[in-house]
Amino acid sequence: MWWTPFMGENERITACPNHNCILTKDRKYLNNTNLQAFLFYGSKFNISDLPKRKDTVWALFHEESPRNVALFLHKRTFEVFDIAATFSRHSDFPLTLQYLEKLSLLTDLQYFMDVKEKNKLLNSIAPVLYIQSDCDTPIERDNYVKELMKYIKVDSFGKCLKNKEFPPQVSEIYSLDLYNEQLLHFIAKYKFVIAFENAICDDYITEKLWRPLIAGSVPVYLGSPTVEDWLPNKNSAILAKNFHSPADLATHITKINDDDFLYEMYQGHKFGEIENSFLKSVLARGPFGIATDQEHPISAFECFVCEQIHEGFEKRVSDSVYNCQRPNPGNSWEYFWQLGDCQSRALVNFVKNGEMIEQEVC
């Protein structure tokens, strides 16, 4: 049963490789003896509206940013779930590569521009591109980029630190059309693209990294501490964490910008073979790194839960399923972390002791 509002139809049969299951959102089946699992969509998880735990499997699907729901930032929360699907590789059903469908996207030359062509464009555009409209983040990325702008030219589009207007053909692109061809051609003109996530968590890697890699630009990355495990090659991105300050980072970018040979070393995935055997092995499982014959990660997750129940299930959610860096003291997001801690404690208390959670508990 999808406990959180997520399904369109009231019920349907999901046909999986080895077993079938009935999926429903209708709570009239709450006391049905055949009810085996509750499925929760993380972004709509409500601690004030939960079923009794009993012996039913609790399965969580939460593919969104770690700052999306505060209580998921705390490892304690995952004690109540039997199956978890998150961006972490340590999840029962990992979604780490949910923004990278297949390996060939990284080697494809559809959007690629030769460095000499990019150099010619430097008369009209900056070497560095920044596209962002979410300006309030736990890692304070705008503060970093604002400082970086003092030392190197950056064209900034979107609502954050905006200093340029999108060309008409790009401005009309729907914000969720992450890999729109016009957008990728636009990105490909820039030599470097600032790819800063909105939070720092192990394995939390989004289109911000993959988009410039697909387009053939060099990502300037800040985010997942484990990103090097996933890069196509060792030198596929410039990692901001390796520099003491934005000024030092700008000096390095300028050095690479002025040397075509050094620049092309960052584009090895476009010129030769992808060297990262781990990345290749994960994507070899199937689209987005998911071993399934289903068309979408959601339906694949539903089948995963279905198969687990039929084949003899054992709880195994890892306590390292999320590992996120807390905001700096004084950051407005510090309260969000504290709120999540309170909600996490309340959730565990409800599940273990059956005590109802008040709406304003935190």
Q: Which residues face 218 on adjacent strands? A: 192
Element (H, E) at 141: helix 141-148
Query: Taking all residues of the chain, what is their mean pLDDT, rounded to a whole number?
Result: 92
Q: Provide the whole-model pTM.
A: 0.92
pLDDT tens, residue by residue, 302-327: 999 999 999 887 766 666 677 888 88
Determine contact, residues 181/165, Cβ cutoff 8 Å: no
CA nearest 92: which of 82, 101, 107? 82
168 vs 206, more confident:
206
What is the CATH number assigned to the segment(s) 104-283? 3.40.50.11660
Residue 322 has a pLDDT of 78
Q: Is pLDDT above 70 for 359?
A: no
Structure tokens, 19: 């077993």
Q: How many CB atoms lie within 10 A of CB 274?
A: 18
Strands (E) in 69-145, as ranges, are 83-85, 128-131
User: What digits encode the pLDDT tens for the residues 170-211?
Assistant: 876 767 788 999 999 999 999 999 999 999 999 999 999 999
Query: Residues of CATH 3.40.50.11660 domain(s) within the chain?
Result: 104-283
- State residue 174's pLDDT score: 62
Q: How far is it, in rounded angstroms, from Cα 362 to Cα 358?
A: 9
| Ramachandran category for residue 123: left, alpha or beta (phi over 0 → left; psi -120 to 50 → alpha) | alpha
